[in-house]
Each structure stands twice: as C-alpha cells, then as structure tokens.
Amino acid sequence: MKLVLLTGATGLLGRYLLRDLFAAGHAVAVIARGSRKDPAADRIETVMSRWEKLENRALPRPIILEGDLTQPGLGLSVEDRDLLRRHCRRVIHSAASLYFRAEENGEPQRTNLEGTRNVLELCEEVGVEQLHHLSTAYIAGTRTGRVYERELNVGQSFCNVYEESKCAAEGLVRRSS
C-alpha cells in the first residue's frame, strides 16, 4: 500500500485535496488534531460526509493519524511514524494558520513556520521522497510589479504576520530541497 500523507485535510484547500486524491485513486492518510468539541476522527468524518452528500456517492476513508503539526514528530505515536516509514513516500502539506495578527498562543508562526519545520523533519525521519508544500502569493508582501515564483525573500516588507510566517516557511522548504 502506498499512502499519500495530507496535512490540513479539514481546511478549505485540504478538504478539496482529500476529495481529489481519492478521485485519482490514491490511498490517503491524514494528520488531524482534535478540537475542543470533536476528536480528529469526527472532524474528518464531517468532511467526508459532506463530500458524499454533495456528490451523492460513497467515498473511501483516509487513515486518520491524530497529531499536531506544532509538536515534535507531529505528535504522532511511534506506531504511526512506523506506518509512514513503511508506506508513505509523498506528503502534501496544506495545513496553515490564517491568523493575520500575532496571537498569544504563538499563531500563526507556530503552525506555519514551526509546523512546516516539523513536517520537514518527519519527512526526513520516515524517508519521504516527495514533499508538496502549498504556499501563497502573499509571500510577496508589499512588493509591486512583476513577481516571479523563483523569487522568495528579496527584502520585501509584509502587511501582516501571516505573510511573514508563510514566507519564512517556504524558505525552510526551499532550503531543504
């Protein structure tokens, strides 16, 4: 079994990626955290049930790994990391914190920067061959005019801490390649 590991499956982009990965015939594992109200499995089931209702068909379910991107090893158990070591060669990292102001709990830096660092470390640990990192055009900050994808940090200023954290995270990913 070859798994694609997806982060951010309960987010706006992640839920579409989850649906599309299944539509393309992939086996999928997701890292999800519980909320104050719902465990991770319930949050993923809500996403999957919504797609089934919209598409009027049954969909497979992902393997749910309860974890937290902000924790070392993504908060995954030894068994979960071993599962990834044996079966996962591709990660799609779409999780992000969309806070535009710095929060007392460290967001969005905690998720966008430290979470990405933790994803990169897990990829190295379990032998992932491909990491697909979803970024944002907002890493351009206050730049104007033509901005090329190959350009990252050229001394631009940022409108908010979200933009800054996503630029820093993309820098980590680029340096890890």
In the three-class reduction of DSSP (H, G, I as helix; E, B as strand; rest coil), residue 90 is classed as: strand
DSSP string over 148-164: -TT---SS---SSHHHH
Asked if residues 91 and 128 have their Cβ atoms less than 8 Å apart, the reply is yes
Res 1: pLDDT: 78
Give the pLDDT mean for 10-39.
95
Give the pLDDT mean for 36-54.
95
pLDDT in tens, 146-175: 999 889 989 999 999 999 999 999 999 999
For residue 177, pLDDT over 80 is answered with no
Give the pLDDT mean for 55-64.
96
